Amino acid sequence: MNKIRLYTIDSCPFCIELKEMLKKDNLEFTEVNVHLPENEAEYKKLHEFTRCDDVPMVKVGNQILIPNTSFQTIQEAYELTKKFLI
């Protein structure tokens, strides 16, 4: 099964909503708070690749889901995340 990496910030209501949806379905994910210094290098690399600094961003395997590009709503993000789980 592909691993879910969820890029978030603490104050983001959309991030909180998506985390709750994933938890409700018992989908394991790794949260990467982009404001923490230990995540700076990983987020910088992701930002350089996507040119996006919006959250939540989701990485499932090789798929990266970007707000307002890959999905318009948190429900869409959730459904796409589940779709890319193998």
Nearest alpha-carbon partner for 30 in 10, 60, 9, 4: 4
Do 84 and 63 form a contact (C-beta atoms < 8 A)? Answer: yes
pLDDT digits (tens, 9 = 90+) for 19-61: 999 999 999 999 999 999 999 999 999 999 999 999 999 999 8
**How many domains in the chain?**
1
Q: How confident is the model at residue 1 (pLDDT cuts 50, 70, 90)?
A: low
Structure tokens at 71: 């999905």
Check which CATH number belongs to the domain holding 63 and give it: 3.40.30.10
